[in-house]
Amino acid sequence: MSDIPTTVGETAPNDADLAVTEFLDHDDDSVKGFAEEVTSAMGDDISKAVALFTEVRDRIWYDPYQISSDPADHRASAILAGSQAWCVPKSVLLSSACRAAGIPARLGFSDVRNHLQSPALAKKMGTDLFYWHGYSVLWLDGEWRKASPAFNTELCERFGTEALDFDGRSDALLHAHDGDGNQYMEYVNERGIYNDLPLVEILESFAELYGSDLVDSTDD
Residue 217: its pLDDT value, please?
A: 54
Residue 3 — pLDDT band, cuts 50, 70, 90?
A: very low
pLDDT tens string 73-128:
999 999 999 999 999 999 999 999 999 999 999 999 999 887 667 777 767 777 77
pLDDT in tens, 139-167: 999 999 999 999 999 988 887 788 999 99
pLDDT at position 5 is 37
Q: What CA–CA distances, in Å, run from 99 to 29, 48, 52, 96?
A: 13, 11, 11, 5
Mean pLDDT of the chain: 88
Structural domains in the chain, sorted by start: 18-210 (3.10.620.30)
Look at 91 and 187; give whichever has higher pLDDT: 91
Buried b (16+ CB within 10 A) or exposed e, 205-220: bbeeebeeebbeeeee
Q: What's the DSSP call for residue 177?
A: B
Q: What is the pTM of this model?
A: 0.89
